[in-house]
Amino acid sequence: MKNTIKHQYVVALLLSVITCSTMFSQNKSSKNFSIDEINTKVDSILPLLTLEEKVAMCHAQSKFSTPGVDRLGIPEIWMSDGPHGVRAEISWDSWDYAGWTNDSITAFPALTCLAATFRPELSAQYGMSVGEEALYREKDVLLGPGVNIYRTPLNGRNFEYLGEDPYLASKMVVPYIKGVQKNGVAACVKHYALNNQEHWRNIINVEVSDRALHEIYLPAFKASVQEAGVWSIMGAYNKVRGQFACHNELLLNDILKKDWGFDGVVISDWSGAHSTEESALYGLDMEMGTGTDGLGTSTANHYDHYYLASPFLKAIKNGDMDEALVNDKVRRILRLMYRTNMNPNKALGKINNKEHHDVARKIATEGIVLLKNENNFFPIEDKEGLTIAVIGENATRSMTAGGGSSELKPKFEISPLEGLKQRYKKAKIIHAMGYHTGSSVYDNIIPSNLNQDSLRIEAIATAKKADIVLYVGGLNKSHLQDCEGDDRQSYELPYNQEELINQLKAVSPKLGMLLVTGNAVETPWLSKVDGLLQTWYLGSMAGHAIADVVSGDVNPSGKLPFSFPKKLKDNGAHFYGEISYPGDGTNQYYKEDILVGYRWHDTKKIASQYAFGYGLSYTKFSLSNIKADQNKYNTKDNITVSCSINNTGNLEGDEVVQVYIGKKNSKVKRALKELKGFNKASLTKGESKNVSISIPVSSLAYYNESISDWSIEKGDYLIYVGNASNNISKTIKISVQ
């Protein structure tokens, strides 16, 4: 159980222990301590701690907590997974759920959906809301958000991340972190770095160029540190250039702590630490999850055997290691505590309130992407005499259960079927499962005692009775689907869904599909569906959000945060074969280098099925009057790109103007173009709005490997303005002097 010492009590104890009382006086007028105040407090408290106490603070005492120091009133630190909500309580020493009855939460949409909103303001609301829930659940650290770049559609964990573009991921992650931390809860951005696949995640050594590292894989982490001021970061499981990422000299000491000035805590992924010496020396501050589950039978306290426990203590006592090493780690940990559980001005948090449900629904509806809409299949009007058949296991399956550590125990989860039934009052909704994969189906839909064949026959019979069929398919959160621990094994839809879609099309002239995934899938069945919505994993309010968009109550405005290649081989990581993905079991080489996602498709002229940034609307937009404020810039200038968005259709709606920039005739390898700015605008029907996007010329720099720094190349650049990476309305030439 959480240490029950209350914040005021903690502070009172500290005051009594420390002679210099002014240093510890609370600044009641401001919510948080300033960094100077924190550092002063940390410097005062550090000499009071014994070596044993300091070492103890650097490793777990249970699955999700680290010890405090009772005699000084220093509380424990409690953590919980993220990133889509606060995970149910886990047992002290095992991965079993503790079975509490008061830990149900709001499940927010998966981060892929958040990225698809292209709306950083929603990210701020997401962070604030999930932070409030973490606070209510008395968590000091929320283990999220995840910003690993989407490199391959097979990665089982892509749904927890913010897509394939470093700029988009950076813009979306910063407000999330700020929102969480406004509550006095530390965000823990993860998994640093290059954990871009789950297959062999514990052993694979990633070899990547400096350019790809700095231009593609690190920017969202850097923005988390430098723009959001994140208070903790989680090391990744994999190795990077031969050293495990959780204690990696280059990533942690050189880049994160030295170059970026990170002053927070590096937390290992659970079992991500592998050596006392490397953990001590190469940047790890807090070791979690190592070895067997907690209190083993053979020793009094298994946690004492962590790499940063007794062996670390012994090495310092022997003089083999400098005490300065533990002091630096504890300084960081205390800093995190003054920002979280030792901040006496912390609020109490909120959980499952209407605001959080509204935020979850708003993000879910705004992230849904309309991929195809032949003959205006969507929206579907609610009218008497209409029968809609909702087919597919994903219409009723829980998508907050499963998936690994991001699994949630929501107070409720509205399924797509339930949401549609609540919304459609005049039309009749009928349902059949179509196929059944086993666990994790909503309790109220007890699978009939039909086998797979008869489920199929029942689905076809149900479809025949309907005017419109909505097939709800995709992946799910089972092992080898969208799930932590391994990757998908093929790019196709699983469970023979293609055949089911073909059979449904044969009996239903109007067939639409809701694709429930966190990843791209192969779409050979595309011509069979008239309408297609990418609906992600949407959390508690999933069904309501889906019904909002299907009915037209909300006009879809999501844009894909990653490309849908036609074939797996069309993806850059897969193009080079196994040595690039998944590696040979020991090493892998990111051979596509900086050409990740749309950068690959654009540069190699390999069209994707659906491009990064793509998404349709129920209304129509056009962009006009597109221009840059000048045609010559200096390296310190900002480029202001402006345009007019015109809603030329009959409905209000939102459109995302996207600005990409590329350099022709560059002396270094470049992607054809890269996202450098975007702006989402809401327009009533017939309305026109001017939008302007400011882009610092410095953001056109490339990472110059010969000087290990960024360089801005002079010369001509092309600015591409459009509403998708493959739908550019105008290209403007500028030059940088």
Distance between CA atoms of residues 336 and 42, nearest Å:
10
Of residues 80 and 571, the one with the C-beta less far from ligand BGC:
80
Q: How far is the CB of 245 from ligand BGC (least distance, A)?
A: 11
Reduced 3-state DSSP string for 488-519: CCCCCCCCCHHHHHHHHHHHCCCEEEEEECCC
Of residues 81 and 215, the one with the C-beta less far from ligand BGC:
81
Of residues 303 and 495, the one with the C-beta less far from ligand BGC:
303
Of residues 215 and 269, the one with the C-beta less far from ligand BGC:
269
Gyration radius (Cα) of the chain, Å: 26
Q: How far is the CB of 326 from ligand BGC (least distance, A)?
A: 24
Distance between CA atoms of residues 416 and 448, nearest Å:
19
Binding site for ligand BGC (CB under 6 A): 81, 143, 190, 269-270, 405
Helix (H, G, I), strand (E, B) or coil at 734: strand
Q: How far is the CB of 403 from ligand BGC (least distance, A)?
A: 11
Residue of 704, 737, 731 lying closest to 602 (CA atoms): 731
Q: How far is the CB of 115 from ligand BGC (least distance, A)?
A: 18
Of residues 405 and 517, the one with the C-beta less far from ligand BGC:
405
Contacts of 722 (CB under 8 A, 6+ apart): 613, 623, 657, 658, 660, 728, 729, 730
Distance between CA atoms of residues 234 and 246, nearest Å:
8
Residue of 311, 240, 242 lying closest to 275 (CA atoms): 311
Distances (CA, A) of 124 to 182, 228, 377, 432, 616: 10, 11, 33, 39, 25
Residue of 367, 386, 425, 370 lying closest to 651 (CA atoms): 370
Of residues 230 and 545, the one with the C-beta less far from ligand BGC:
230
Contacts of 312 (CB under 8 A, 6+ apart): 55, 58, 276, 279, 280, 321, 326
Q: How far is the CB of 144 from ligand BGC (least distance, A)?
A: 7
Residue of 225, 223, 226, 244 lying closest to 235 (CA atoms): 244
How open is the CA angle 315-320-322, to the nearest 5 degrees? Answer: 90
Is the distance from CB of 405 to CB of 143 less than 8 angstroms? yes
Distance between CA atoms of residues 584 and 200, nearest Å:
10
Distances (CA, A) of 257 to 26, 41, 254, 265, 518: 29, 21, 6, 10, 32
Q: How far is the CB of 169 from ligand BGC (least distance, A)?
A: 16
Distance between CA atoms of residues 244 and 287, nearest Å:
13
Q: How far is the CB of 269 from ligand BGC (least distance, A)?
A: 5
Q: How far is the CB of 90 from ligand BGC (least distance, A)?
A: 8
Token pair for 370? 């309309």
Distance between CA atoms of residues 160 and 111, nearest Å:
5
Of residues 105 and 628, the one with the C-beta less far from ligand BGC:
105
Q: How far is the CB of 644 from ligand BGC (least distance, A)?
A: 44
Of residues 405 and 534, the one with the C-beta less far from ligand BGC:
405
Choosing from 140, 165, 269, 486, the catalytic residue is 269
Q: How far is the CB of 44 from ligand BGC (least distance, A)?
A: 32
Judge whether 654 counts as a catalytic residue.
no
Distance between CA atoms of residues 613 and 657, nearest Å:
10
Of residues 114 and 697, the one with the C-beta less far from ligand BGC:
114
| Cis-peptide, bond into residue 145, ω within 30° of zero | yes
Is the distance from CB of 55 to CB of 61 less than 8 angstroms? no
Distance between CA atoms of residues 30 and 230, nearest Å:
20
- The length of the chain in residues reads 737
Of residues 269 and 570, the one with the C-beta less far from ligand BGC:
269
Residue 701 CB neighbour total at 10 angstroms: 15
Q: How far is the CB of 288 from ligand BGC (least distance, A)?
A: 7
Residue type, 191: H
Distances (CA, A) of 65 to 6, 146, 311, 368, 408: 17, 20, 20, 36, 19
Of all residues in the shown chain, the one whose CB is closest to ligand BGC is 405
Of residues 484 and 548, the one with the C-beta less far from ligand BGC:
484
| Cis-peptide, bond into residue 671, ω within 30° of zero | no
The residues carrying an active-site annotation are 269
